[in-house]
Amino acid sequence: MAAISVFCGSSSGSDPVFAEAAKALGSTLAADGHRLVYGGGHVGLMGVVADAVLAGGGAVTGVMTEQLVAAEVAHLGVTELEITSSMHARKARMAELSDGVIVLPGGFGTLDEAFEMVTWNQLGLVAAPVVFLDVAGYFAPLFDFIEGTVAAQFVSAANAALARRASTVGEAVRLAIATQEAFTPKWLG
């Protein structure tokens, strides 16, 4: 089965539907036999998705920085917890461990992680699908922005398609485990 990175908020957000989606995603990953790779926290949506995978008998790998472990936000009940020295090392390790990515609602850190993976796909450094689970229309403005970058000719339509969008948990999991062909930009090939 696949190892799926989930990027999401260290907060639960203002609407209970975000936590409900995180729980449903975790339950689905466990039921389907997929390993969760995530930021290693016990707080917010991060904790919700990890707890749901664990409750379903699934495997969870957390990857967290020394700084965040010291801040006592690490989930100590996960299957394995890897500690890195920096956020850069954390993101690189999560990429190494993952076959695909699902992005739940979150803030700057979530978007940083997601778009770094989209960029790495664009550059041909990885071939891991990146799927935004659009809970309650949370990512609609983001996809409007992406369409605007294409219209303004800063991003090609092919590159914009590297950021996938799903409206259900099942669709997100299906898209995240789909084989992504390695992408070689025209200017590299």
Q: List per-block mean pLDDT (blocks of 10 residues) for the chain, which spans 189 residues.
A: 96 97 98 97 97 98 94 94 96 96 98 97 93 98 98 96 97 90 52
Give me the phi and psi of 95, to 5 degrees please.
-65, -40
Q: Using CB atoms within 10 A of its CB, is residue 128 exposed (0-12), middle (13-18) or buried (19+)? A: buried
pLDDT at 71: 86
Fold for 3-136+163-177, please state it.
Rossmann fold (3.40.50)
pLDDT at 179: 73
Q: How far apart are CA 184 and CA 189, in angstroms?
A: 6
**Nearest C-alpha neighbor of 22 from the set 61, 50, 56:** 50
Q: Please tell me the pTM assigned to this model.
A: 0.95
- Give the DSSP H or E segment for 4: strand 3-7
User: What is the tens place of the pLDDT at every residue in 3-56?
Assistant: 999 999 999 999 999 999 999 999 999 999 999 999 999 999 999 999 999 999
What is the amino acid identity at position 148?
G
Q: How far apart are CA 17 and CA 78, in angstroms?
A: 24
pLDDT at 123: 92
Burial 28-67 (b: 16+ CB within 10 A, else e): bbbebebbbbbbbbbbbbbbbbbbbbbeeebbbbbbbbee
What is the amino acid identity at position 166?
A
Q: Using CB atoms within 10 A of its CB, is residue 8 exposed (0-12), middle (13-18) or buried (19+)? A: buried
